[in-house]
Structure 1
Amino acid sequence: MDPRTEIRDFLRSRRARITPERAGLPAYGGNRRVKGLRREEVALLAGVSVDYYVRMERGSLAGASDGVLDALAAALQLDEAERDHLFHLARRSKAPGGPRRRKPAVTVRSTLRQVLDAISDAPAWIGNGRYDVLAMNELARALYSPVLADPRRPANTARFVYLHPEAARDFFVDYDHVARGVAAKLRMEAGRNPHDEELIALVGEMSTRSELFRQRWASQDVRLHRSGRKRMHHPVVGQLDLDVESLDLPAEPGLHLNVYTAPAGTPAADGLALLASWAATRQTSATELEAHDG
């Protein structure tokens, strides 16, 4: 994840998707040799010289002010996630280098685990930007039982999506949408934390083992963690169409709390109630087995 290469590939990919018509520019001639905008057209829209833009697209954002970056973001019609990613890349360009470092293992505080356990009617779990599942309540363990089937810990939903595609396609109804989102959010995380050794290893592992991930990663798309709707097919209770709230934890930078709910009276709400009953039965059986073994 070389910063100059990241900048170059990102800017080129964003420039290639915008036609002159979309940018409000006249399209002279019917045979354009480039896909999307030319470099001089981006420079015109951003209000900078062509030479300056060429230097930026070659990977040098070190001297770019926030005003120039904002103008560039507007010229390339970047969305919120893409603009944030551009600024992350610029900060890396201003302070390049730095050895790869292994971050200390993240331990979820006991009070946060108590919060998870207090959420008794909804699956809830805490994760990080690498898609590691760090702590879950009982209902989340039941919901994500296909993900947890992989014995590696911490469980990782990105690895599940790309390295266990058959199981993931069975579990996530909108698998293609989920796969695109996972890759885009991982690239966003790479912009924020380029020297995260675990993230580098995860991206390397999936790039080696998944052609689909290589394609999604090469798209240069980025996405923020957002709330929304997720449709899952649980092996025991069937399809669950759930609302997802993803909340940042300000006291624990990089961690977020995910809570899955369903409106009362809906089939999804009935499914969650059935899931809770199954989880309770499973937990009781495990407790009885432990007592018998003891």
Structure 2
Amino acid sequence: MATTDPRTDIREFLRSRRARITPEQAGLPAHGGRRRVEGLRREEVALLAGVSVDYYVRMERGSLAGASDGVLDALARALQLDEAERGHLFRLARRSGPARRRRVPAASVRPSSQQVLDAISGAPAWIRNGRYDVLAMNELGRALYAPVLADPRRPANTARFVYLHPEEAGEFFVDYDRVVADAAAKLRLEAGRNPHDEGLISLVGELSTRSELFRRRWASQDVRLQRSGRKRLHHPVVGRLELDVESLELPDEPGLHLIVYTAPAGTPTADNLALLASWAATRPDGAAARNG
């Protein structure tokens, strides 16, 4: 379940990152005999971070209040955190300090943002928030994500589709296992950014209750950024698609991302996208799907 208690989040995150690193990976001498802990010991993390053992123990118990950027940077290096994990650590530390004004996630997009989407005619595009709610799409985006939009709940939510409709999602997403891991990791990252988002807390609670797979992925404490990449889909009408993905944060609408899928000209995927556009233009339910 999602929690708004920063001490619990800090404790679970630091323990999970410590457990995945061996002394050899950290450049420490390996001692013979069976170790009682998985990964690094607390004193080894303290040594690598250049802090006292008592101070690190307090941090791992959930107290990051007052930790300087230098200490957090040293801790991030000791635990070999990537960019997403380092940002998550700093956000957890900020949550340990004085209460800040809560950000209310956008529930809709501006008309001008929808106009931008509609102007993108040759590529599927949509706007989503950090909890995977699809807030607006262009025509080709609605055609591409027809399996996701088949669920009548609105706003459509990709994470809910992935975890609660595993058969359909497994057919649609070629790399389903990676998509599953990414979805939980990005929701975990969003929980660190906006821990009081009631919609996110509700979503995580629903997925935790209804999906054993989600419970396992959420418990991993993984966080992940994804600004670009490759997505392989199998569309029920046009078949296999191998798409390049760009995710752009909208500067005037914090927390919202513009997602665009493209394919190089002359490739089978580009041809299939053209077929998809033709199919979308002739769908009798196209107007209704526009409101999805």
TM-score (structure 2 length as normaliser): 0.94
Q: Give 1:287 shift.
A: 7.7
Structure 1 counterpart of 2:133: 132
For 2:231 and 2:286, the matched residues in 1 are separated by 32
Counterpart of 2:281 in structure 1: which amino acid? A
Counterpart of 2:244 in structure 1: which amino acid? D
Structure 2 counterpart of 1:208: 209
Identity of aligned residues (%): 81
- Please give the residue correspondences for 1:126-165 in structure 2 after superposition, counting only pairs within 5 Å: 126-165=127-166
Residues 14-50 of structure 1 show CA distances to partners (whole Å, capped at 9, x for unaligned) of 0011111111111222211111110000000000000
- Preserved CA contact (<8 Å) 1:102 1:197: no
For 1:76 and 1:154, the matched residues in 2 are separated by 38
C-alpha spacing 1:287/1:23, structure 2 compared with 1 (3 Å): closer
1:80 and 2:46 correspond? no
Structure 2 counterpart of 1:49: 52
C-alpha spacing 1:224/1:105, structure 2 compared with 1 (3 Å): closer
Q: Identify the structure with the greater helix proportion.
A: 1
Structure 2 counterpart of 1:192: 193
Residues 185-230 of structure 1 show CA distances to partners (whole Å, capped at 9, x for unaligned) of 0000000000000000000000000000000000000001321000
- Preserved CA contact (<8 Å) 2:23 2:30: yes
Structure 2 counterpart of 1:111: 112
Q: Give 1:288 shift.
A: 10
Q: Give 1:96 shift.
A: 5.5
- Preserved CA contact (<8 Å) 1:138 1:279: yes
Please state whether the residue corresponding to 2:13 is helix, strand or coil: helix
- Preserved CA contact (<8 Å) 2:19 2:40: yes
- Preserved CA contact (<8 Å) 2:129 2:257: yes
- Select the residue among 92, 95, 101 that pairs with 2:95: 92
- Please give the residue correspondences for 1:1-294 in structure 2 after superposition, counting only pairs within 5 Å: 1=3, 2-95=5-98, 103=104, 106-282=107-283, 285-286=284-285
Please state whether the residue corresponding to 1:215 is helix, strand or coil: helix
For 2:33 and 2:134, the matched residues in 1 are separated by 52
Please state whether the residue corresponding to 1:229 is helix, strand or coil: strand
Q: Give 1:270 shift.
A: 0.6
For 1:53 and 1:288, the matched residues in 2 are separated by 58
- Preserved CA contact (<8 Å) 1:3 1:96: no
Q: RMSD between aligned alpha carbons?
A: 1.7
For 1:76 and 1:31, the matched residues in 2 are separated by 22
**Which gives a bigger RCO, structure 1 or 2 (Cα 8 Å, sep 6+)?**
2
For 1:170 and 1:39, the matched residues in 2 are separated by 44
TM-score (structure 1 length as normaliser): 0.94
User: What 5-or-longer segments of structure 1 have no aligned partner?
Assistant: 290-294
Counterpart of 2:177 in structure 1: which amino acid? D
- Preserved CA contact (<8 Å) 2:105 2:255: no
Please state whether the residue corresponding to 2:243 is helix, strand or coil: strand
Q: Give 1:94 shift.
A: 1.1
For 1:161 and 1:123, the matched residues in 2 are separated by 19
Q: Give 1:54 shift.
A: 0.1
Q: How many residues align?
A: 285
User: What 5-or-longer segments of structure 2 have no aligned partner?
Assistant: none
Counterpart of 2:29 in structure 1: which amino acid? P
C-alpha spacing 1:68/1:102, structure 2 compared with 1 (3 Å): closer
Q: Give 1:106 shift.
A: 2.1
C-alpha spacing 1:148/1:15, structure 2 compared with 1 (3 Å): same
- Preserved CA contact (<8 Å) 2:230 2:245: yes
